[in-house]
Amino acid sequence: MSRLSKVALVIGAIGAVVLVGVLLGWLGTKKAPAAFQVAPTLPPVTWPSNQNAAVPILPAPSKNLGSELTTNPMAAPVLAAGTNALADWESKLDEILAPDGEPAEKAKRLFELFPQLPRDGQAEVAQHLSNLVSDKDYAGLGKLLADAKLPEPVLDVLMGDLLNRPNSVKLPELLEVARDPEHPKAAEAKELLGFYLDQDFGADWTKWQARMEQWLKDNPD
C-alpha cells in the first residue's frame, strides 16, 4: 500500500471515531418521553396494630386542656329518665315512713318528694298518701288527681282512694275531673257522677254543678 493510501486510511478512522463520539453525546442530552418517567415513591401508610380498628389511633388529648376528656363516648354518665328523679328515692321513702312522726308531717314530706319520683315511685307514694291524708286535708290529693299529665297508674290509685271518701269530698272531685276532656279519667268520672246524681247533662257543666250541690244538700254525709 502506498504512503498516501495509509495516510487517507488513518484520517478516515479518526473521522469515524469523532463522528461516533458526537452521536453518543447528542443521544445523552435527550430526555426520556414523559410517558416512561417513573412516579416518585410514596411513603408507606402505617395502620394500627389492631386489625379491627376502623380508624388510626389518635394521640391522647393534651394535658393543657382545661378538663379531662374521655376517649370512650360510652363511658359518659347516663341521665335519669326524669331530670328531677332521685336515684335513692326508696331510701328517702323509708326514712319518711319511719314509725315515729305524725301522719300529717309524713304526708307533707311525701307531697314534697312526689315531683322527684319516677313513675313507679309516684304510684307507691300515691298509695301512702291515700292512707295518710285525712278527708279534711284532701285538697292536696285533689290537685294530684286533677293533673291530667300524671301517669295513669298513679291516677288509678288516686281514683280508687277518692271512691272511699265521703260524698262531700268525692262528688266535687269527680266533677273537676269529668269536665277536663284531656283527663284520662274524665269519662269514668262523668259516668260515676251520673250514677250518684241519677242525671246526665252531657257537657253542660253548669247544670252538673247545680244538680250536685242540691244532691249534697239532700244527702248530707
With beta carbons less than 8 A apart as the criterion, state whether 169 and 138 touch: yes
Q: Looking at the 3D structure of the chain, how many domains does it have?
A: 1
* Structural domain includes residue 10: no
138-160: b or e for each residue (b if 16 or more CB lie within 10 Å)? beebbebbbeeebeeebbebbbe
Global model pTM greater than 0.85? no
* Structural domain includes residue 78: no
* Structural domain includes residue 142: yes
- Cα 46–chain centre separation: 39
* Structural domain includes residue 214: yes
Q: What percent of the chain has pLDDT over 70?
A: 62
* Structural domain includes residue 76: no
Nearest of 85, 134, 127, 145 to residue 105 by alpha carbon? 134
pLDDT tens, residue by residue, 87-142: 789 999 999 999 888 999 999 999 999 999 999 899 999 999 999 999 999 999 99
* Structural domain includes residue 49: no
What is the residue range of 95's domain? Answer: 89-218
